[in-house]
Structures are given as structure tokens and as C-alpha cells.
Amino acid sequence: MAARRFLYVVAALIFLVLALGLAWSLAPFAIMRAALVPHGGWTMPPGAPDYRRPDAWLARPGARDDAARWLPAGLARPPAGPAAVFFIPPTTYLDRSRWNAPYDDRIADARSRLITGAEASAFTGVGRVWAPRYRQATIGAFLTDRPEAARALDLAYQDVARAFDTFLAEAPPDAPILLAGHSQGSFHLLRLLRERIAGTPRARRIVAAYAVGWPVSIKADLPALGLPACTAAAQAGCLLSWESFAEPADPRQLRLRYDASAGFTGAPRRGTAALCVNPLTGTAGGSAPAAANLGALRPEAGLEAARLVPGLVPARCAADGLLLIGAAPAGYGLAVLPGNNYHVFDYALFWANIRADAARRLAAWSLR
């Protein structure tokens, strides 16, 4: 049963992927906006998470239904390490009737629980995981510059920030902290770094920050985030980011919002390279062969099981910051986004390497 949970993540996203694929084939951006961007004004979603309550968390130490405890079949559970891990899940709310997911939306919550299992589980070897439920912005908020989208993203961030305060209060006061997110989760993670960590004593506790699946401009963002890029595999207190594409890659959809926005420094992002830390090497830039891939989570035929497959894909950081994985690997078809974008699998393709990477960085932090 545990081996199937990763596949349910894929199945839960198939509807979205098919919709995006159809829109892309007809008229890429206009149809996507029409299909996914809410038409009405922004309203406060009902309910709000109380992070003092266990049910406000997808993963939390001691919880009976801790989503992060999932592991691939055949992998033994290691003893928990000393780190406190704060993981921010990606977008799972696809409805265009609201700009933010209601706190009690069961469909989005079920998807978030499954995705947290497949992604945050990569960090359970270094410590205990906290992953908040939050009133995430709907996916259409990333396809428009309407003011309602900004309000939706800000509300989602405010939930995340309150969850982070509770995390800090509940985690051991001197524990090393590992931060991680994916997609919208990484969007909020970067703001959290800028507003709540950079320039504070907390920065010294950071093992690493995994802002995966969201572009980080080397020139317009990184100088304001308080952490350098990870340039060595055994480096602590640094930032990792990558966006996975098979070749030939078409990142036009991805770059629309990036090119239209200013970075955390205030400088424009347009024309600047995004940070690419190769998950197979743990270093910024460069390439690694498939032989360096310790294990990718891959669905098996019929979506009935998943297994950890070593040597599945290589990884190469392109000049613009994309992470290129070569030819499309078999077994992921329906969940691949337009443009050969393997965004859904940013963690899955490198799951075992991410797990080993986090362990190395914790060891390096402990020696500082």
C-alpha cells in the first residue's frame, strides 16, 4: 500500500495536466488563463488554520497520520536526525471559483497530503518534519497579474508565516533548521527567507533551503535572501533551486511571470539567469550522468506501484538556469507539463540524491 502513495500523487494531477496540454496545443496562454483564472473578485476564504492544533498540519512530529512518514517500498526507516524540517507543499487547489483554497477543501487537502508524502519524505533521514496546511492560492493566480492574484498569494503567505512561528516555538530551540518547498511552496519559502530569516540569528541555524520548482534569479533575488547558492556538496547554510525539463525544453510558459517581475533586490528579473543547483552533484551548475542518480521514484505500469530506480536520468544545468534531464524518461507521460516541463517530478526524479544531499549538509552544519 505504501508504494502506491506516490502514484496517487500523479493520478491526482492528471486532470490538471490534460487541461494544460489541451490549452497549450490550441493557444497557449490565453486559453490557460480562461480555463484556470477565477473570474470574480477576491474574497476571504472561510476558515483559517490554527497552528496550535494538530489538524492544521499535514506533517508534524508525533502525529498518527504524519504524511511525511511515507517511504518507498523496501527502504528501511532510519532513526530521526537532529534537524527540524519546515516543508511548504505545492499548489493542489485547481478550482477557479475562488482565489484561495478554503481551509476545509477536502480534495486539495488530500492531494497536499499525498504530495507531502512523496516529497517531504526525502528529508526524514535528517530530522522531524513540519508541513502546514494553508489556504493556498489557486493555480490560476500564477497566470495573471490581476490584483486579486497578489491578494491570494499574500493570504497564503500569511498562513505560512504563522505556521513558521509555531514551528519555531515547537522545535527544539537550538536544533538545526532545514527549509524546503516546491512550486508555490518555494514561492512562499523565498519570501520567508527574505522577511523572517535574512539578517537574523536564525540564519545561523539553517542547514539548507531547498526552493525547488520556482526560479531564483542569481542577480535580482539571491543577494537579498541571506543565503548563498550551494556551490559544494558538503556546504551548509546555502540555497538550492532547480526546474526540471526534458529536451527539447520550451520554458516560455515558465518564464512569463519571471520576466515580468522584479526580484527581491528590486532589480528586474528579465534577462537574468536562474539559479540551478544540480541535485545529482549538489553544486551550482555543471552536469552529471545518469549513473550519478541514486534513485528516482517512478510509477510502474498501470499506476499500481512505484519503485526507486537508480540511474534513470542525468542532469545538466543550462546557461539560463534550467535543469535538463535529457530525453524524456519512460513512465511519466500524462503528468508532464507543456514544453517538456517535468515540474511535477522535481523531487521524484532525484529523490534518493536529495535525501543524501540533506544528510551531507547536516553533517557539514554540525562541524561548523
DSSP-derived secondary structure for 111-129:
HHHHHHHHHHGGGTTTEEE
Residue 129, pLDDT score:
98
CA 92, CA 83: separation in Å to the nearest integer? 27
Q: pLDDT: is 80 or 192 the higher one?
A: 192
pLDDT per position as a tens digit, 12-28? 454 454 444 444 444 45
Instruction: Please choose, from the candidates 61, 59, 50, 58, the residue with its C-alpha nearest in 3D space to the C-alpha of residue 172.
Output: 61
Tell whether omega for the bond before 176 is within 30 degrees of 0, i.e. cis. no
For position 301, what pLDDT does the model report?
57
Residue 182 has pLDDT above 50, yes or no: yes
Q: Is 119 exposed, middle or buried (0-12, 13-18, 19+ CB in 10 A)?
A: buried
Q: Position of cell 538556469?
A: 321
- Quote the pTM value: 0.92
Find, among 349, 364, 17, 38, the residue nearest to 208 by Cα: 364
Closest residue by Cα to residue 186 from 216, 226, 164, 165: 216
Rounded to whole angstroms, the Cα distance separating 118 from 53 reads 24
Which has the minimum average pLDDT: 93-102, 263-272, 279-288, 358-367? 93-102
Answer whether 362's CB lies under 8 Å from 176's CB: yes
With beta carbons less than 8 A apart as the criterion, state whether 97 and 148 touch.
no
Segment 90-95 shows an average pLDDT of 90
Question: For residue range 211-236, what is the model confidence (pLDDT) as tens digits?
Answer: 999 999 999 999 999 999 999 999 99
Look at residue 6 and tell me whether its pLDDT is greater than 60.
no
pLDDT at 276 over 50: yes
Using the predicted structure, report yes or no on whether residue 128 has a pLDDT greater than 50. yes
Pairing of strands 323-324, 315-317: antiparallel
Most confident of 84-98, 162-176, 302-316: 162-176
Give the mean pLDDT of 241-257. Answer: 90
The CATH class of 17-243+258-284+350-366 is: alpha beta
* Contact call for residues 218 and 275 (beta carbons, < 8 A): yes
Mean per-residue pLDDT, 313-338:
92
Asked if residue 119 has pLDDT above 90, the reply is: yes
Region 178-194 average pLDDT: 98
Could you tell me what percent of the chain has a pLDDT over 90?
68
Q: What is the pLDDT of residue 85?
A: 98
Give the containing element (helix H, strand E) for 277: strand 277-278
Q: Which residues contact 34 (CB under 8 A, 6 or more apart)?
A: none
